[in-house]
Amino acid sequence: MLILPMVVFAGLPFIVDSESSYLVFFLFVTFINITIVQGWNLVGGYAGQVSLGQHAFFGLGAYITAITWLRGLTGYFDPLAMILSGFGAAILAIGVGIPLLSKLRGDYFALGTLGLGEILRVIFTQGGTLTGGSVGLLLPSRVYESMKPYYFISLGLAVFATIAIYFIIKSHIGKALIATRDDEVAAEASGIHTLKYKVLAFSISAFLTGLGGSLQAYYLFHIHPAGFFSLKWALYPILMSIMGGAGTILGPVIGAFFLTGVFELVNIWLPEGHPIFSGGLIVVVMLFLPNGLIRLRLKRVIGKKGERRGDK
């Protein structure tokens, strides 16, 4: 069932003109979103720890890519730079995650990650020549040749993220994370080292977000604190993940497709109202669809079964 869309996505740039096609651009944006949404999904959806600071990892990944390139350590589309970006973000997540996640109260984690993103924005705005201050860094954009590599790398990242999350959830790590989310005290009592698993989930989520930031850096060629440490990058993954169905494998993918589409449309028709609309959408989704699109069908099936058995 999933092979068909993969074949279509892989073949698309050969059918339409990838340089002028809006569809290719749209899918590129969607695939980056899927990558970071899956990251949030692991820590927020499966482990139940709401991170409000994914923009810290997105921005950090982008800056690592840009700085290593400008210093001549890596090149254009260098896998080394992308992996470094991911690991840089993951290491930051471990450093911040251990103290913040060792508390039983999840609120401290949410607040702390929010503070983290803001600290990073300040640091990178004040970073002097290394980060280019508030103007940011300009990468040599003359190397740009075609949209195709961007499209395929973003597709690869999205597939990688989804498959990675799938296998993590199938393994004992996933079971431990879900147990922690559902009842942390009970999980701890059953011998699960919850802190270890929470930090692991957080660092994997940071790794994926850093990869997304790295690719976005290669695409924009201009890395500046306001754009890459924008709260947007903290907001979108949460929104898309919950809209589609946090704590499921395919829910976030559906959410990313749906909301990227909605945001692109709003951006075209109502550019000024865009943030008002997305803010309002979160409220409406949380009030009326707190379990996500993917669970709509599930719920109906369960509901029918329940009626038949005479449950109230």
Binding site for other proteins (CB under 8 A): 44, 48, 50, 52, 96, 99-100, 103, 105-108, 110-112, 114-116, 118-119, 122-123, 125-126, 231, 235, 238, 242, 272-273, 275-276, 278-283, 286-287, 290
Query: Would you say 118 and 212 are in contact if contact means Cβ atoms under 8 Å apart?
Result: no
The distance of closest approach from Cβ of residue 156 to other proteins in the complex, given in angstroms and rounded to an integer, is: 30
Query: Would you say 202 and 49 are in contact if contact means Cβ atoms under 8 Å apart?
Result: yes
Query: Would you say 213 and 228 are in contact if contact means Cβ atoms under 8 Å apart?
Result: yes
CB nearer to other proteins: give 64 or 243: 243
CB nearer to other proteins: give 214 or 260: 260
Alpha-carbon gap, residue 244 to 305, rounded angstroms = 23
The distance of closest approach from Cβ of residue 265 to other proteins in the complex, given in angstroms and rounded to an integer, is: 17
Alpha-carbon gap, residue 85 to 67, rounded angstroms = 10
Cβ neighbours of residue 77 closer than 8 Å, sequence gap 6 or more? 149, 153, 218
CB nearer to other proteins: give 105 or 308: 105
The position carrying tokens 């290491």 is: 91
Give ∠ CA 130-143-256 in degrees, rounded to 5. Answer: 80
Exposed (0-12), middle (13-18) or buried (19+): which is 180, by Cβ within 10 Å? buried
CB nearer to other proteins: give 171 or 267: 267
The distance of closest approach from Cβ of residue 33 to other proteins in the complex, given in angstroms and rounded to an integer, is: 17
The distance of closest approach from Cβ of residue 35 to other proteins in the complex, given in angstroms and rounded to an integer, is: 21
The distance of closest approach from Cβ of residue 277 to other proteins in the complex, given in angstroms and rounded to an integer, is: 8
CB nearer to other proteins: give 16 or 276: 276
